[in-house]
Chains A and B, each alone.
Chain A
Amino acid sequence: MKHLLGIKNISKQEIIQILDTAKNFKEVLQRPIKKVPSLREVTIANVFFENSTRTRLSFELAEKRLSADVINFSSSSSSVKKGETLLDTVQNILAMKVDMIVMRHASVGAPHFLAKHINANIINAGDGTHEHPTQALLDCFSIQEKLGEIEGKKVAIIGDILHSRVALSDIFALQKLGAEVMICGPITLLPRYASALGVKIETDVMKALAWCDVANVLRIQLERQQIKYFPSLREYNLYFGIDKKMLDSLNKEIILMHPGPINRGVELSSDAADSHHSIILDQVENGVAVRMAILYLLAQSKNE
């Protein structure tokens, strides 16, 4: 594997390899000295064209724990025509002898575009409304850790599916690992051709919760909606939000996930987010191990 651009184009075996490697790194992270020398000769640039705190921190920590040299570039302004293009920016960074690019970008396909024109390894840290592969891998890792396996499990992804890169990557990853996936949300936030994804479609949150083993609740991202898709956050919370009472009313235990940051009181109430159902902080912890695994495996590919 030279790049990690998305989950769609990687195999089940590659996913399993990443998850297995991550298990080892998670073990490393429990030690008093959390640092290993694996990427001592590697320089990595975290290039973020969109605001991000947690994903960037998680990558940076993963890189540092692998002893890589790290530089950060952030710019909220995306490339402007007739100005410095994405390709210019990245080529400038690469000219300083950088081996790997971790990129977040508001444009769908931006890392795929880069991959056609540059030589360095590229990790997609989120491209617009397309994919967020490292999030999907850490979600799979966390489910596996909690439930033992993913095969045969039922996962409901709840919220703004239309604008979510997490949803798409999660769907691809979970299906490859044998899970059944349902999407649930206001119908205006579900893709019209969602059935092509091979998922179940539901608009009633309670029914989705009753069906699933895992509920992955997405952040309602008003900032990524250029057009209004639902009337108000208040109404969203009333009819699509999840609270502890709903979870307790189920006659089974389900686990609750969220890619963060949570809008408390919108998609999740505080009592649900902080309940024993929630593995939200495990996801954050596992994120570092999974990203270490990906960085390590991509760096390996260079030596092959």
Chain B
Amino acid sequence: MSFLFKNIEIIDKNSTFHQKKVHLYIDNQHKISGIYDVNENPIFLEDIIIKDFAGSCASVGWVDMYAQLGEPGFEYKETLETGAKSALKGGFTSICVMPNTNPIIQTKNQIQFIKNFTYQNPHIDLLPIASVTIDNLGKDLTEMIDLHYAGAVAFSDGDKTIENSDMIRKILLYLQKFDGLLMQKSEDVYLAKFGQMNEGETSTFLGLKGIPNLAEEIIIQRDLKILAYTKGKIHFHLISTAESVDLIREAKKQGLNVSCSMAAHQIAFTEEDLNDFDTYLKVNPPFRTKNDQLALIKGLLDDTIDVLVSAHTPQDSESKLLEFDMADFGAIGLETAFAVSNTFSTLSLEHLIDKMTTIPRKLLQLSSEKIEMGEKANLTFFNPNEKWVVKKENIVSKSNNSPFLNQELKGKVIGIYKNGWIE
């Protein structure tokens, strides 16, 4: 079946149709075979589904660089299937799947397990991130070259920080053989031990053990130092402090090959929101201060922070309906990442979309895609101005631990096209 999407504004810096309103024709081979001026009225003889999306936009399909999907091992929180549904609902046609499962994703077979899902569900690319140390323990290296050829798009211990500096040195050197990417979570385990939230004024009033900014910054500083020594490249995911932004900005200036991401929810909350002990706001890294938040937004604007990610971390209600210090960290984010970024950041739409398409594709060395005649359609359709309220009953993730429940957000995904139309 072919499709005609009418009155769509193209948001794609790499396209000659960028910021133009067009009718988009996708043929039954999933190729973009017609891009028409809105005044034209093309006639098709075949069976065609026509959708008029006046007021809405289309961009290349979005990429998320950080999602936890729970399968295998934590199927009660999320499965590949529910995670994929959640991603598609949020407009993502490619998502990086972190290896913190049980067992850990660290062998060819396990990479294949993730990739098989995409063979059977061609609307989404699940991009496996392979563990870089065996069992995420930070002690022994996984077979990175083999995993790379098996399809791992990057390497990471996911939500675990690699503590040992010598391991970082070895990994950064070893990955250079195939220009591989290390994704590091930055949190010094000793400085952050037993921490429940940001160390700051709020934690002092609540008597909760804090996670100091220092815990994040010390790892970033150390790893940048190692990177300067080894060369290669590193990506810090989920950065959260003002000084982390400064450190990375400075390193980029010096020409180091470093990139980073932040969780979209960081621009919506600060530590003060935790006064009510809401476990749905217990995330890691924790919500910091207003000052950190402003620095993060500045980092997004000047591209020190390359990408915004969902930081999708599903938790079943038994892991959240608990005393604050017993509850697990994490929030789901795939279904709200775009709307949250669009609502709370000061990024232009074009810039935001760039951070969800072109930039992550480049960092992950995925094929570049654009909206042009003859290209295969990999598209996300969205209305940046439509307001909607996050409702528990509408969440398709298996977990509902969203910090945005019952909040109004601006920017709604209409659907995606990738080997077919999904809305």
Contacts and interface: CB of A to CB of B under 8 A. Distances in A.
A69 B212 CA distance: 46
Contacts of B193: 226-227
B326 A81 contact: yes
Given A82-B318, A196-B204, A113 B323 contact: yes
B199 A226 contact: no
Given A108-B325, A128-B325, A197-B204, A226 B194 contact: yes
A185 to B, nearest CB: 15
A219 interface: no
A165 B193 CA distance: 20
B324 A108 contact: yes
Contacts of B209: 129
Interface string B307-341: 00000000000110111111000000000000000
Number of contact residues on A: which range applies?
20 to 34
A79 B326 contact: yes
Given A193-B199, A193-B203, A108 B208 contact: yes
Interface in A160-204: 165, 168, 191-194, 196-197
A168 B207 contact: yes
Interface string A50-93: 00000000000000000000000000001101100111000000
Interface in A19-69: none
Contacts, number: 77
Contacts of B201: 193, 196
Give the bracket for the number of chain B residues in contact with chain A: 20 to 34
A130 B326 contact: no
Interface centre among B193, B206, B319, B321 (most CB of A within 10 A): B206
A105 B210 CA distance: 19
A107 interface: yes
A2 interface: no
A109 B326 contact: no
B276 interface: yes
Contact of B200 (A86, A168, A193): A193
Query: B196, B276, B277: which has the most chain A beta carbons within 10 Å?
Result: B277
B324 A109 contact: yes
Contacts of A139: none
Interface of A: 8, 78-79, 81-82, 85-87, 105, 107-110, 112-113, 127-131, 165, 168, 191-194, 196-197, 226-227
Minimum-distance CB pairs A-B, first 9? A130-B207, A107-B323, A109-B277, A196-B201, A129-B207, A193-B204, A109-B324, A110-B323, A191-B204
